Amino acid sequence: MERVIVHVDMDYFYAAIEEREDPSLKGKAIVVCMYSNRGEEGGAVSTCNYTARDMGIHSAMPCRQARSIYPDAVFLPVRKDFYKEVSDDIMKLLQSNADTDEAFEQISIDEAFLEITESSSGNFKHSFEIANTIKEEVKRNAGITCSVGIGPNKLIAKMASSFQKPDGITVIEPEKVQEFLSPMPVKKLWGIGRVTEEKLSEMGIESIGELAKLDVLKLVEAFGKNRGTLLKRLASGTDESPVKEKTSSDQIGRMASLKHDSRDEKMVFELMDELVEDVIAKATSRNVAFRSITATVIYSNFKTETKSRTLNHAVYDKEILRKNAMDTMQHFLDNSRLNFRRIGIRVGNLQERTGQKSLFDF
């Protein structure tokens, strides 16, 4: 089955949040600045919306220069702690759409990879539907837009997400990878910086297609073995790196597909039993208890619904997890006529198991 990787990138994230918080800013040029100790006279542009970009303002530009370009823009100080709170909620939403909690990789405050090979059955047409659902969920829950790229690996997904910004979806199927990459200038290739771009230009290489055709020995001679072979692989659209969390998670979860789309309670609850067993086994191996329980269902139309419960005490008991998971699944069954495609369960607010209570302690 062909891998299906999704890259989700929030559109002008900080400025979009400011627009959401103050609707009167809509349509105005918004510049979010990281001010220095010199106040508003110092510092650099952290991000700006597309209206400001159209005026010639861009990230990393000195704030003073941005003001001189367009003094009528709205200049705001960065609120990183607040943006992080919004990001955390969005990332949990994105993670719930991945094949498993582990098949998710946040790479910055406003972008992440997730693998949906299993949930899309390796079908890129289905992946578009999933991506559209993700976009709708982000807009409904966070009030901002995102752009989505889908490809057979992380490299292509990452590059595709920038192709139709803002608020777009770009799907690159495996057989279309070279057609997608070849015309692009080499600076668009993920992982190529200015120094590499300039050196390739000196070699007469301007496009990714030209780089892909270049003899790898010439690249090794110019850049060394590791860098040269990497450039060749990237230009060919090859990337075998896994989608995987870089840090230990404060959540433990599992998702799985039903044998076929169904509302059959026996099938749903039997699969949920298996997921509960897996989650408890992982919690036991990490010697942790949990306070929050979240159940997720992905319906046959790829719509995702999530419901969480927070317990009064941290516990590590399978029966407590099972009861809450089953109650939530019953709620989903009672409140929707759609068939279930995938279901999942995860626990959060993890704590080391030192004195926490099990069912038998109550």
Q: Which are the catalytic amino acids? A: 111
Tokens representing 281 are: 């086994």
Q: Among all chains, which residue has been given the structure tokens 């010639």?
A: 56
Distances (CA, A) of 289 to 70, 181, 244, 284: 54, 47, 23, 8
What b/e string do you get for 153-166 counting C-beta neighbours within 10 Å, with b at 16 or more?
A: bbbbbbbbbebebe
Single-letter code of the amino acid located at 297: V
| Whole-angstrom distance, CA of residue 342 vs CA of residue 94 | 15
